[in-house]
Amino acid sequence: MSEAPKYKRVILKLSGEALRAAGSKDNISPEIVDRIAREIKNVVDMGIEVGIVVGGGNFWRGASASNRGMDRPTADYVGMLATVMNSLALQSAIKAEGVEVVVQTAIQMQNVADPFIRHKAQRHLNQGTVVIFGAGTGSPFFSTDTTAALRASEMGANAIFKATMVDGVYDSDPKKNPDAVKYETVTFQTCLEKQLKVMDATAFSLCMENDIPIIVFDLGEEGNITKALGGAEVGTTVHL
């Protein structure tokens, strides 16, 4: 009998920028999306229930547009639509792997996705269907990090896996400090005391209050999604 997975239900947080190949003018790399989809299939085959929150920074960043003069709510709504485009691209690739997958959006757009309804999302996850949560929280001023923390809390997820372009959490910026030290594990309290940037304050508080660990790992290395969600010690684990 195969060993039960360490995590039963997880939220995978992907940045929009991670879907774009380095140096490419294309907003979405089909090769990267296909690789993510293959690894999602591996995770689902392990019996792990997967929810996904994806950002929209490869198309649009609301805060940046706001700084250039657009009113912030409008800029954020545009960003929410960008997350839906990424969600649909991921859905197509995951479905091509033979995995059941649905997109639920916090802003209703019935021609392209289902509306977010908590009990329906939970039922999908219970049945082994991957649920991609698009359009952020549906409200301006909240990041997709906060969306991931909120959906993890609502779905009763065991952990959030934050896929980034670095291989974990460091005591200082490793791009600026070659002597930066990587944490294998670190507490929420230490992150607060040392002002380590793991997630924005709202998302971080939600995870801390609901005792949801955050695993930060490098998306760029092939196989890391499978390893991390499968319970291997990859990246940095932030915990109480």
Least confident stretch, 59-68, 135-144, 161-170: 59-68
pLDDT score, position 1: 44
Q: Kindly state the helix (H) or strand (E) to which residue 218 belongs, with its residue range.
A: strand 214-218
Helix/strand/coil percentages in the chain, nearest 5: 40, 20, 40
CA distance 236 to 161: 10
Which pLDDT tens digit goes with each residue over 195-234? 998 999 999 999 999 999 999 999 999 999 999 999 999 9
Is residue 163 within 8 Å of 15, Cβ to Cβ?
Answer: yes
Specify the higher pLDDT residue, 238 or 197.
Answer: 238
Average pLDDT over residues 50-71: 86
Triad 142, 184, 159: Cα angle to 5°? 45
CA distance 195 to 161: 20
How many other β-carbons are positioned within 10 Å of the β-carbon of residue 95? 14
DSSP 15-45: -GGGGS-TT-S-SS-HHHHHHHHHHHHHHHH
Secondary structure letter of residue 228 according to DSSP: H
Q: Which residues contact 219 (CB under 8 A, 6 or more apart)?
A: 14, 15, 18, 36, 163, 164, 165, 225
CA distance 60 to 192: 29
pLDDT of residue 65 exceeding 80, the answer is no
Q: Which residues contact 61 (CB under 8 A, 6 or more apart)?
A: 79
CATH class of domain segment(s) 9-239: alpha beta
| pLDDT confidence bin for 66, thresholds 50/70/90 | confident
Q: Report the chain's mean pLDDT, rounded to a whole number.
A: 94
pLDDT score, position 38: 98
pLDDT of residue 135 exceeding 90, the answer is yes
Of all residues in the chain, the percent with pLDDT exceeding 70 is 98
Of all residues in the chain, the percent with pLDDT exceeding 90 is 85
| pLDDT confidence bin for 50, thresholds 50/70/90 | very high
Question: What backbone phi and psi angles, to 5 degrees, belong to 226?
Answer: -60, -45
Task: Give residue limits of the domains in the chain.
Answer: 9-239
pLDDT of residue 165 exceeding 90, the answer is no
CA distance 51 to 75: 26
| pLDDT confidence bin for 63, thresholds 50/70/90 | low
Least confident stretch, 17-26, 37-46, 64-73, 161-170: 64-73
| pLDDT confidence bin for 4, thresholds 50/70/90 | confident
Is residue 7 within 8 Å of 233, Cβ to Cβ?
Answer: no
| pLDDT confidence bin for 143, thresholds 50/70/90 | very high
